[in-house]
């Protein structure tokens, strides 16, 4: 399988503080890779570097075989991002927001694309609603529609189901599974929901203090650490000091 | 440069303005109040001083010009701040937009915002005070253009600060014009300033623009050199602001400001 994301020994320092300490990983086509770690472990910094919002202190990032540093615009055309910490303009209607972002991503057949996403994400009835007046579940689906408006090859998800009720959370997970299968895209998923990660991810990276301290398939990590589920593995690794620091 | 992307970002702000009656009212309200106030002050001075008695509309014309500058600069800053306030900043900077496309779109949108406020204010001056800013003739265009460039320049400089230092720089966004206003010699000749302030004023385009507006209205002559100096300083500061914006963008990528930008 072709690697759509290749991260080679990237480091990020803020002054003397090392936020990311030389990590490397790949994400294949048609793969969801989980990025796990406690708060402050370097997940957001890593995603920021993949999005070109942060310049790595050293190391290289390739998206679809293109070096990010030299092909920023070309790469941004083929990736997208969703996070509960960023929002779409609140005063615009859902349709206006999707139209604006379709223009920014130079989407052809905008009408058809919005119709397709509206149907898939069940937001057809929300298109004329003011974005800021939506519930968090509705906003989440609209943000996901925006993130898919450019048919990305690579999707970066930062806690995509945080603060969602179980029904909407399950709908989003099922949608992501189906969409990945249909479009063969690569997804990097940062999440604190271990059930979600176990269900969606082929493999996971465990980060702590800016380093990858373990990686592998969820079931292999559970076996390796002698635990019954991924949450227990997460707790063991994040609380451990001597073994992994 | 992609026209589609520039248009897309323009649409984002166009939708925002046209969806909200209070926003349109806000754009029209302050310039109109400002012009009405200065119209009465202008009338008073015209009847009580010898300096202005040959040109009733000098103060009012300068007030309109200053307001255009103020609205352009604040308008540009507002467009940038809107992205921060709505927590849309990250979405914008992960879209495949070049810095030049973002700036071009904001420059066009800022002009439209300013004109929405300015046109009604100009239309008010004629029936209320019997004054037409068109008395400045063809040079009115050059004076407006020069003010527009300087307003945009200030907007880009402040936006560079927002990029580099984050939302904490917001207060500066509101105060830049007030800081420069005394040096701009908007309502008085440059000789009114102390000598040290005159030296500062001469390296700003504003003094040449307002001196020339007064010159045209009071002496009925045109000093092309004033217009030339205004454009020369504008070119200098505009280039500086663009360089600074690119530098701030690069610095923000190093510092991580682009990720954490928000309220």
CA B13 to chain centre: 18
Contact A238, A208 (CB under 8 A): yes
Question: What residue spans define the domains of chain A?
Answer: 1-78+153-245, 86-151
Q: Is there a contact between B8 and A100 if contact means CB atoms under 8 Å apart?
A: yes
Confidence band of A165 (pLDDT split at 50, 70, 90) = confident
- Structure confidence at residue B6 (pLDDT): 95
Tell me: pLDDT of B57 over 80: no
Confidence band of A142 (pLDDT split at 50, 70, 90) = very high
- Structure confidence at residue A100 (pLDDT): 96
- Structure confidence at residue B55 (pLDDT): 58
Rounded Cα gap, residues A6 and B197, in angstroms: 57
- Tell me the nearest-neighbour CA distance from B26 into chain A, angstroms: 16
- Structure confidence at residue A152 (pLDDT): 95
Q: What is the pLDDT of residues A1-41, one digit of tens each?
A: 788 999 999 999 988 889 999 999 999 999 999 999 988 88
Rounded Cα gap, residues B126 and B129, in angstroms: 6
- Structure confidence at residue B52 (pLDDT): 62
Per-residue DSSP letter, A127:
T
Q: Is there a contact between A92 and B253 if contact means CB atoms under 8 Å apart?
A: no
Tell me: pLDDT of B108 over 50: yes
Tell me: pLDDT of A67 over 50: yes
The encoded tokens of residue B159 equal 């936006």
Tell me: pLDDT of B206 over 60: yes
B262 or B78, greater pLDDT: B78
Percent of chain A with pLDDT over 70: 98
Strands (DSSP E) found in chain A: 3-14, 17-28, 32-36, 58-63, 66-67, 79-82, 154-158, 186-190, 203-208, 211-216
Rounded Cα gap, residues A148 and A154, in angstroms: 10
Confidence band of B246 (pLDDT split at 50, 70, 90) = very high
The encoded tokens of residue B3 equal 């026209």
Average pLDDT, chain A: 90
- Structure confidence at residue B181 (pLDDT): 83
Q: Does B240 contact A at CB distance below 8 Å?
A: no
Q: Is there a contact between B262 and A90 if contact means CB atoms under 8 Å apart?
A: no
Please compute the mean of the pLDDT values over residues A52-77 and round it to a whole number.
93
- Structure confidence at residue A244 (pLDDT): 47
Classify each residue of B230-256 as buried b or exposed e, where b means 16 or more C-beta atoms within 10 Å of its C-beta.
Answer: bbebbeebbeebbebbeebbebbbebb
Rounded Cα gap, residues B188 and A14, in angstroms: 49
Please compute the mean of the pLDDT values over residues B78-85 and round it to a whole number.
83
Tell me: pLDDT of B22 over 90: no
Confidence band of B78 (pLDDT split at 50, 70, 90) = confident
CA distances from A49 to A25, A68, A72, B251, B255 (A): 13, 9, 11, 14, 12
Rounded Cα gap, residues B220 and B213, in angstroms: 10
Percent helix, strand and coil across chain B, each to the nearest 5: 85, 0, 15
- Structure confidence at residue A242 (pLDDT): 47
B18 or A47, greater pLDDT: A47
Confidence band of B182 (pLDDT split at 50, 70, 90) = confident
Backbone φ and ψ for A188, nearest 5 degrees, come out as -110, 120
Q: Does B98 contact A at CB distance below 8 Å?
A: yes
Closest chain A residue by Cα to residue B85: A89
Which has the minimum average pLDDT: A83-92, A117-126, B77-86? B77-86
Q: Which residues of B touch A104 (CB under 8 A)?
A: 5, 8-9, 92, 95-97
Tell me: pLDDT of B197 over 50: yes
Classify each residue of B123-155 as buried b or exposed e, where b means 16 or more C-beta atoms within 10 Å of its C-beta.
Answer: ebbeeebebebeebeebbebbbebbbbbbbbbb
Q: Is there a contact between B95 and A104 if contact means CB atoms under 8 Å apart?
A: yes
Confidence band of B263 (pLDDT split at 50, 70, 90) = very low
Q: Is there a contact between A45 and B256 if contact means CB atoms under 8 Å apart?
A: yes
Q: What is the pLDDT of residues B207-232, one digit of tens each?
A: 999 988 888 888 888 889 999 999 99
B45 or B94, greater pLDDT: B94
Nearest CB to B258: which of A14, A53, A89?
A53
The dihedral through the CA atoms of B242, B243, B248, B254 has a sign that is positive
Q: Which residues of B touch A48 (CB under 8 A)?
A: 256, 258-259
Classify each residue of B192-215 as buried b or exposed e, where b means 16 or more C-beta atoms within 10 Å of its C-beta.
Answer: ebeeeeeeebeebbbbbbbbbbbb
Contact B204, B184 (CB under 8 A): yes
- Tell me the nearest-neighbour CA distance from B80 into chain A, angstroms: 13
Q: Which residues of A touch B88 (CB under 8 A)?
A: 86-89
Please compute the mean of the pLDDT values over residues A84-94 and round it to a whole number.
89
- Tell me the nearest-neighbour CA distance from A145 into chain B, angstroms: 13
Contact B42, B99 (CB under 8 A): no
**CATH code given to domain A1-78+153-245:** 3.40.50.300
**Residue with the two structure tokens 């209607």:** A93
Closest chain B residue by Cα to residue A149: B95
Nearest CB to B4: which of A55, A103, A146?
A103
The encoded tokens of residue B192 equal 């009114």
Q: What is the strand order of the sheet A186-190 is part of?
A: A79-82, A154-158, A186-190, A32-36, A203-208, A211-216
The encoded tokens of residue B234 equal 């504008």
Q: Which residues of A touch B24 (CB under 8 A)?
A: none
Interface of B with A in 176-235 (CB under 8 A): none
Q: Is there a contact between A90 and B86 if contact means CB atoms under 8 Å apart?
A: yes
Tell me: pLDDT of B107 over 80: yes
Q: Which residues of A touch B4 (CB under 8 A)?
A: 103, 106
Contact A67, A60 (CB under 8 A): yes
Q: What is the pLDDT of residues A176-203, one digit of tens each?
A: 999 998 899 999 999 888 888 998 898 9
- Tell me the nearest-neighbour CA distance from A104 into chain B, angstroms: 5
Q: Is there a contact between A102 and B2 if contact means CB atoms under 8 Å apart?
A: no
Nearest CB to B5: which of A48, A55, A104?
A104
């Amino acid at each position: 399988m072709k690697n759509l994301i290749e991260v080679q020994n990237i480091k990020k320092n803020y002054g003397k503080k090392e936020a990311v300490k030389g990590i490397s990983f790949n994400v294949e086509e048609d793969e969801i890779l989980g990025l796990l770690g406690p708060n402050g472990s370097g997940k957001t910094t890593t995603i920021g570097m993949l999005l070109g919002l942060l310049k790595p202190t050293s190391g290289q990032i390739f998206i679809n075989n293109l070096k990010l540093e030299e092909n920023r615009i070309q790469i941004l055309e083929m990736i997208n991002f969703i996070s509960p910490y960023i929002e779409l303009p609140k005063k615009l209607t859902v349709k206006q927001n999707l139209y604006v972002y379709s223009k920014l991503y130079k989407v052809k057949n905008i009408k058809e694309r919005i119709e397709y996403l509206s149907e898939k994400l069940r937001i057809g009835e929300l298109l004329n609603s003011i974005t800021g007046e939506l519930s968090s579940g509705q906003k989440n689906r609209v943000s996901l529609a925006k993130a898919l408006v450019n048919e990305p090859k690579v999707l970066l998800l930062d806690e995509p189901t945080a603060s969602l009720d179980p029904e909407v959370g399950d709908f989003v997970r099922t949608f992501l599974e189906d969409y990945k299968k249909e479009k063969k895209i690569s997804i990097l998923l940062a999440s604190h929901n271990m059930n979600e990660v176990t269900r969606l991810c082929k493999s996971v990276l465990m980060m702590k203090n800016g380093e990858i301290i373990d990686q592998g398939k969820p079931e292999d990590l559970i076996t390796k650490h002698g635990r019954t589920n991924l949450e227990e593995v997460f707790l063991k690794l994040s609380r451990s000091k001597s073994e992994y620091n | 440069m992609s026209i589609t992307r520039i248009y897309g970002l323009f649409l984002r702000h166009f939708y925002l303005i046209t969806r909200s009656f209070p926003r349109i009212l806000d754009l029209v309200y302050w310039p109109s109040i400002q012009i009405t106030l200065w119209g009465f002050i202008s009338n008073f001075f015209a009847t009580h001083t010898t300096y202005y008695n040959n040109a009733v509309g000098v103060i009012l014309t300068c007030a309109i010009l200053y307001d255009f500058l103020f609205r352009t600069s604040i308008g540009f800053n507002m467009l940038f701040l809107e992205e921060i306030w709505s927590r849309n900043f990250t979405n914008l900077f992960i879209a495949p937009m070049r810095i030049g496309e973002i700036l071009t779109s904001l420059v066009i949108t800022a002009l439209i915002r300013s004109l929405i406020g300015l046109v009604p204010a100009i239309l008010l001056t004629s029936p209320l005070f019997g004054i037409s800013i068109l008395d400045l003739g063809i040079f009115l265009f050059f004076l407006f253009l020069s003010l527009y460039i300087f307003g945009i320049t200030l907007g880009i400089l402040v936006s560079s600060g927002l990029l580099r230092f984050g939302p904490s720089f917001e207060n500066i966004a509101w105060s830049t014009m007030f800081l420069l206003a005394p040096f701009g010699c908007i309502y008085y000749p440059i000789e009114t300033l102390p000598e040290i302030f005159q030296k500062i004023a001469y390296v700003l385009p504003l003094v040449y623009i307002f001196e020339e507006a007064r010159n045209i209205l009071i002496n009925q002559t045109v000093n092309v050199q004033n217009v030339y100096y205004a454009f020369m300083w504008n070119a200098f500061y505009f280039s500086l602001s663009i360089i600074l914006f690119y530098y701030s963008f690069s610095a923000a990528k190093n510092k991580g400001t682009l990720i954490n930008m928000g309220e």
